[in-house]
A and B are shown apart, each in its own frame.
Chain A
Amino acid sequence: MTEDIAPVRNGWDLGIRDILGMAWRNLVHIVRTPQLLVFSSIQPIMFVLLFRYVFGGAIKTPGGDYVDYLLPGIFVQTALFGGASTAVGLSEDLKQGIVDRFRALPMARSAVLAGRTIADLCRNVIVVLLMVAVGLLVGFRFHGSFVADIGAMGLVLLFGYTFSWVFAAVALAVRDPETAQLAGFLPIFPLVFASSAFVPVQTMPTWLRDFANVQPVSVTIDAVRALVTGAPVGHWLWQSFVWIAAILVVFVSIAISRYRTV
């Protein structure tokens, strides 16, 4: 048994292969537990129906239909909430001790986290596509150019991916699946509801409006909304990218440094 010593190599190609290996493992989980995907899609669908048919009539939006205002908010919210699966999956791995096995293997140290977030990104692609379909069913239409519409969806997914790292950092800090999910939603909730996701910010009190105008969820939704309605993206797009870059830098480093010491 001691004859072969596994070759010791290092480098980017191996790191990427480790990430793909871990992503494959997590994707298998998603495919084999379709019920999770189904139930996690029900909540955003309820939000669409609730706001489209219950609250929507009472909400006045400047120019255009409310359904075209609403869906970009729903897309971003769905992608954001999808990040919670990163927290749950990661803390379950920690709890079951399988992370110890991975850390004792000669694989890239970043692969557990990167593989997890990439699998969750793939999961988000499915969920967001489903929401697009639901949106089209309730009357939402893309009005931007083809490139702008695809770009908008790309921005939604990138934003969701960014928050996967926030959830990963939270999971590594609290170490328990249920707590991780609850703790992860703490910052997400005010960001989603004190934003331009469902209602125009003009009716909010000044202090709240000032917050809502600059926070990452609002600027990203505004950018996505501008792209899919064919309006000029103004300052929203670059502000969204600045937020994404800042959040990634901060939370990727927190998550990786915490991962090294778990």
Chain B
Amino acid sequence: MYAKDAIGERCAIGTTDEITVEGIGKRFGSTIALDDVHLTVPRGTVFGLLGPNGAGKTTLVRILTTLLRPDHGRAVVAGYDVVHDAAQLRSVIGLAGQYAAVDETLTGRENLKLVARLYHLPRREWGPRAEAVLERFSLTDAADRPVRTYSGGMRRRLDLGASLVGRPRVLILDEPTTGLDPRTRMELWVYVEDLVRDGVTVLLTTQYLEEAERLAARMAVLDQGKVIAEGTANELKDRLGGAVLEVAVADPKDLERARELLVGVGSGAPSIDPARNTVSVAAHQDAQVVLDAAARLLQGEVPLQDIALRRPSLDDVFLALTGNRTAVEPAAAQGPKRWGRRSS
């Protein structure tokens, strides 16, 4: 197990996998939350786990952080098996999540010292560790105020900081910026990028494609408990054939008709974005596609505002991968670039 001779292994950063998930499955009653999931995350990299609500992201996070046992399969994090070496694993991982799991009544400093204490660090370390985290996350001024007086962004920073008190080798972030305003979100990204420079391996779940694209070197798309795609953002975009044909209709009433007419054009199922009055479909970088589409729409008497081929966004990738289902719950539909922003 390489955790025991970490010094020798450190030379091999980037070549060894820090997280290995092999055939993990989990069901709750008759619901299959995870179905034969395989993943590997190289040491010192950020891996993004994307998927709509209910895709199984949080279940996987809970398994990797020993909060939940898998029904079958095996997962090894930082050299420790999540089931058999759970106790040792807990001392080398950090978990921060969407709930900002910090104590409201304690001050920021007290929260961090408590976590240091529960990591079984020597008493003389509690203060300095807390201080270092407070400084790093610009919370020194608020350190001695109860957390209930903190803003949402400060709480998330403290939560992220609390997960670093034990100086984990692997950091697991479960939707770290869900519910934050765009500015605070970007601030938090800078902190995460900073951590990665220190060599921490990060597994990040998110619903924000922008977030994955910015932070994660590689990503996997989880849908209904299955990994349906894995790769870098560019690799995923290439899977769409390199381009997207986008048609803007003059009248929103024609959207559905346009979608029907475009079936068979390009390399995927066309989908509608009602917000932008467009229908888009994956295609090869080939002008012929534009001509085909234009001819069909002309024949179908759908007036157009615009028609163009463009480089696909991650949005397009997910839409193509997860099909036409509306993926996101309405209650969660806030913020930019979320799942299911488009429906068809």
Contacts and interface: CB of A to CB of B under 8 A. Distances in A.
Given A21-B114, A106-B87, A6 B121 contact: yes
A14 interface: yes
Given A101-B162, A104-B66, A2 B3 contact: no
A1 B199 contact: yes
A62 to B, nearest CB: 48
Contacts of B110: 28
Given A104-B93, A106-B120, A2 B67 contact: no
Interface in B75-107: 87-88, 90-93, 95, 97, 99-106
B3 A5 contact: yes
A98 to B, nearest CB: 4
A8 B167 contact: no
B186 interface: no
A106 B95 contact: no
A32 interface: yes
Contact of B120 (A2, A6, A22, A104): A6
B119 interface: yes
Interface in A1-30: 1-10, 14, 17-18, 21-22, 24-25, 28-29
A14 B120 contact: yes
Contact of B118 (A8, A18, A96, A97): A18
Interface in A113-148: none
A18 B114 CA distance: 10
A6 B164 contact: no
Contacts of A2: 6, 10, 167, 169, 198-200
Contacts, number: 104
A5 B169 contact: yes
Contacts of A175: none
A107 interface: yes
A200 B222 CA distance: 66
Contacts of A5: 3, 6, 91-92, 167, 169
B67 A103 contact: yes
Counting contact residues on chain A (CB < 8 A from B), the size range is 20 to 34
Given A1-B198, A1-B199, A21-B114, A6 B166 contact: yes
Contacts of B105: 28-29, 32-33
Contacts of B54: none
A103 B101 CA distance: 12
Contact of B106 (A8, A28, A33): A28
B65 A104 contact: yes
Nearest to B170: A2
A105 B3 contact: no
Interface of B is mostly: loop
A105 B164 CA distance: 11
B101 A97 contact: yes
A100 interface: yes
B97 A97 contact: yes
Given A8-B91, A104-B67, A1 B101 contact: no
A8 B3 CA distance: 12
Interface in B109-123: 110, 114-115, 117-121
A4 B167 contact: yes
Contacts of A103: 66-67
B195 interface: yes
A100 B87 contact: no
Interface in A149-175: none
Contacts of A10: 87
Interface centre among A4, A8, A100, A105 (most CB of B within 10 A): A105
A102 interface: yes
B146 interface: yes
Nearest to A7: B120
B249 to A, nearest CB: 45
A8 B169 contact: no
B164 A1 contact: yes
Contacts of B92: 5-6
Contacts of B87: 8, 10, 106
B27 to A, nearest CB: 15
Contacts of A106: 87-88, 90-91, 118-120, 166
Contacts of A25: 103, 106, 114
A32 B148 CA distance: 12
A105 B198 contact: no
A102 B65 CA distance: 11
Nearest to A102: B118
Contacts of B115: 101, 105
B119 A105 contact: yes
B118 A6 contact: no
Contacts of B198: 1-2
Contact of B97 (A22, A33, A100): A100
A6 B67 contact: no
B57 to A, nearest CB: 15
Interface centre among A6, A102, A104 (most CB of B within 10 A): A104
A100 B91 contact: no
Nearest 8 A/B pairs, CB to CB? A97-B99, A106-B91, A1-B198, A106-B90, A101-B101, A6-B91, A107-B118, A97-B101
9 contacts: A2-B198, A7-B120, A8-B88, A10-B87, A98-B99, A104-B66, A105-B115, A105-B119, A106-B90
Interface of A: 1-10, 14, 17-18, 21-22, 24-25, 28-29, 32-33, 96-98, 100-107, 111
Given A2-B167, A98-B99, 9 more contacts: A2-B10, A2-B199, A5-B6, A25-B103, A32-B146, A96-B101, A100-B99, A104-B67, A105-B118
